[in-house]
Structure formats: structure tokens, C-alpha cells
Structure 1
């Protein structure tokens, strides 16, 4: 029963986020926000939602958000996701309106809200009810499934959306495994934002989605390696910080 509640909790959190995106997109034009700026507005709302959740659950310290340095091993473990983001940047970036700075800002907001929601709030709840591999896998599955919202918010093809769901789940598995192992969320926010930035603005076009498939397999293997190393470590499942000890 507790495991069912954990999954239901994760599902509800993601549905609330989707509802916020839909509501924000609907309200934005009414208050004079149109075009590209709707995305920025909605991303800001999602960050606010994520901050409220993490604050309410007292997870800032447990998430590692307040930890400036976790060690060389944790930094080295970021090599694969950093490399994946960097590969696309080598092909150059497109100069899209309204400008690189605005794109960087809105995608940073995406990285912040998705990491706080998936790799902090949802992963923490799953970790209370499941062993590490299952907790990470369920968190990743929900993270991937949230991208099904593209059916309602974009005009992308079904095959493109479904591939993105699978790729996002594999990417989410890798990042959740890192968080499970090291509890160091703020670097994941930056890496996530950089990955989105280079994916959207890179001049590289993936023929036959080869890079997406290869990196997805790589991220799945990477996550399993991190989880294997996490067994028996105190940080594998970050405990909730009691209210009296939390400075947030």
C-alpha cells in the first residue's frame, strides 16, 4: 500500500505540474504575454511550484542544494552528461529570437524546476518506499512520461514525441542515479539546462536519431553503474531533514 501511495504521489506531482503549464499557457495571453514569452512565463511558474514543494517537504539540505562541493568523484561522475551536452555545441549554435540570453534563462528555469520536482521531490518519496534501483527507475519513468504532454502542447509527430519520452526516461534514469548516489542537485540543474540549450540551439541535426539512441543506451548503463556503486553507502538514499534541523 505504501508503494502504491508513493507512485500515486509522483504521478500527482507531475499532473499538477502539467496542469500548471496548461493553466499558465491559457492565462498568459489574457495578461498580455504572447509568443515565445509564454514559455518563459510558464517555466517561471513551474520553478515557483517546485520551490514551494521542496520547501514544504524540507528537502533543500537533503537534496544537496546547499552543498557547494561533494568531492572529485561526484564531479567526475558528471562527465558523461556534460560531454553529451558539449557534443552538440561543437557544431555551433543558431541565433534564434529572442536571443541566446533569453533562451539560456528559460532553459535554466526548466533545469531548475524539473530537477527539483523529479530528482528531489519525486525521487525522495520513491526512495522511502523502494530500493534504490526501483526508486530511480520509477522516477525516470514518470519523468519520461511527463513529456507525453507534448501531444497537447506542440504539433510534433507521434514518433518524435515517443522517442523523446524514451530518451528523456533514460536521461532521467542517469540523473536520478547520480542524485541517489551523491545527493548534489544544483550541478544537475546546470547540466540539465546546458543539455536542453545545446539540443534546441545546436546546428547539429541527428540523422535517423542515431545520437539520441546511442546516448540513451549510454545513460541507462551509466545509471546502472552509479547505482551499483551506491549500494551500501549512506548517501544512496538521502534522508529527509527534520523540520527543526532545516534552515530553509
Structure 2
């Protein structure tokens, strides 16, 4: 069945890939040219990359689009399960001084804003005319592949890159599924930031069984959300022609 939702561009997948590539190119360019300014450097790098999705927003005049202009999510209770999973990870505690944790929190907020703006914001808006399944899967895949680029450019080990890609793909899929219900990207940016903050400052790696359970639970919840979105779209009345 062909979706009746209008597309802003003729090749939405190509446009989404272009946004991802542009975001990463700006990120890398600023990262390697910005003079050292201490802990604020990575924050500036991530916020600078926002120029790409914001340019797209300006091009299509999406400033008042609900996903960008709305702060409070639709169906906020759907955010409870992933926040619970993140909260369980926090039971391990965090390490670092108050100053270090504050700097890390500022960085993770910038990462959450920047990545959600380009991925679940602009990219997902390009892909929204696709089926809920294709949209969520493409967003998860492209988000995961972006971490391959980051890992290679910043000299990460193959094992680290594989770990990051797997987790980013699952998390990206879940966030895309949530976006289909919450509409607003800002609660997703908060979830993203909190998850990164806890994982970046944890006292050690999680046990393998916990990592597997976490991935399975997030994937399963994402599947349930996408199935619900699919049912809702199928029941939506077609526009008059």
C-alpha cells in the first residue's frame, strides 16, 4: 500500500543519507581544526554540527513543525520503560569529581541535541512517508553506520567500533520508534544524553548477560512501538481526493 503522507523530496532515503554525511563532515572538520579550548571543545564540535540539520529546517521551513517546536511529548508514558532501563544502569554508580561529571553532562546534552536533531529530527522527517517499519529500520541502520565513520576517523579499535555500531543501531531504532509516538525530539534528546552520561562515567563494563538483556529489551520495545504505529497508520482515514 502506498503511503498518502507527502514527502518533502523525491528521494527521501538519499536525502537522509546526505544529511548524515553532511553532519559527520562538519563534525570532523570542526573537531580537527578547532583550537584546544579544554572541556568546552567537544561541546562546540557537536553544536557546530547542528548547522547541517538547521540548514535543512530553514530550507523546508520546519521551524514550527511539531517534532521541533513542541517540547512536551505526545504519550509521555511511553518514555517510561527506556528511562527505567537507563536508571537500572545507573545503579552501578558513576565515577569522577563533581566538576568532571558536570563537564560530561554538558557534553552529553550537546551530543543528545545534535544527534537527535539530525537523526530523529531531519532524517526521520525525510523518511516519514515510508512505512513505520522502514523508517525505524533505516534510521537505526544509518545511525549505526555513522558510528563506523566516527570510529574510523578518531582511530577506534575494530572491537570498539563493532560494539558502538551494534548499540547505536539498536538505540537509534528504538528512538525512531519512540519518535513515531512522542512526535517531539526533545525528550529523546534527554534520554540520549542521560544514557550517554551514565555509560561514559560508569565504573566498569556491564556483564555480557546484562548487555544482551539490554539490547533485547530495547529492541523488543521498539518492535512493539513500530507495530502500534503500523496499526494506527492502517486505521487512519485516507485524505479526500
TM-score (norm 1): 0.82
User: Does the 8 A contact of 1:167 with 1:213 survive in 2?
Assistant: no
Q: Secondary structure at the match of 2:49?
A: helix
Cα distance in 2 for partners of 1:36, 1:68 equals: 28
Deviation of residue 54 (structure 1)?
2.6
Deviation of residue 13 (structure 1)?
1.0
Cα distance in 2 for partners of 1:92, 1:185 equals: 27
Distance 1:45 1:68, change over 3 A: closer
Q: Secondary structure at the match of 1:159?
A: helix
In structure 1, the gaps of 5 or more residues are: 238-248
Is 1:75 the equivalent of 2:76? Answer: yes
User: Does the 8 A contact of 2:24 with 2:49 survive in 1?
Assistant: no
Deviation of residue 232 (structure 1)?
4.7
TM-score (norm 2): 0.84
Cα distance in 1 for partners of 2:229, 2:146 equals: 27
Cα distance in 2 for partners of 1:177, 1:54 equals: 21
* CA RMSD of superposed structures (Å): 2.6
4+ residue segments displaced more than 6 Å: none
Cα distance in 2 for partners of 1:213, 1:54 equals: 37
Could you say which residue in structure 2 is the equivalent of 1:91?
A: 92
Cα distance in 2 for partners of 1:232, 1:58 equals: 30
Could you say which residue in structure 2 is the equivalent of 1:40?
A: 43
Cα distance in 1 for partners of 2:160, 2:10 equals: 31
Deviation of residue 181 (structure 1)?
2.4
User: Does the 8 A contact of 1:25 with 1:42 survive in 2?
Assistant: yes
Is 1:205 the equivalent of 2:208? Answer: no
The residue correspondences of 1:1-248 to structure 2 (distance < 5 A) are 5-29=11-35, 33-34=36-37, 36-71=39-74, 74-95=75-96, 99-128=100-129, 130-208=130-208, 210-233=209-232
Per-residue Cα deviation, 1:127-178 (whole angstroms, up to 9, x for no partner): 22x2111111111100111000233343432122112101111111111011
Deviation of residue 199 (structure 1)?
0.8
Deviation of residue 204 (structure 1)?
4.1
Per-residue Cα deviation, 1:182-214 (whole angstroms, up to 9, x for no partner): 312111111111111111012242133x33322
Distance 1:153 1:38, change over 3 A: farther
State how many pairs are aligned. 228
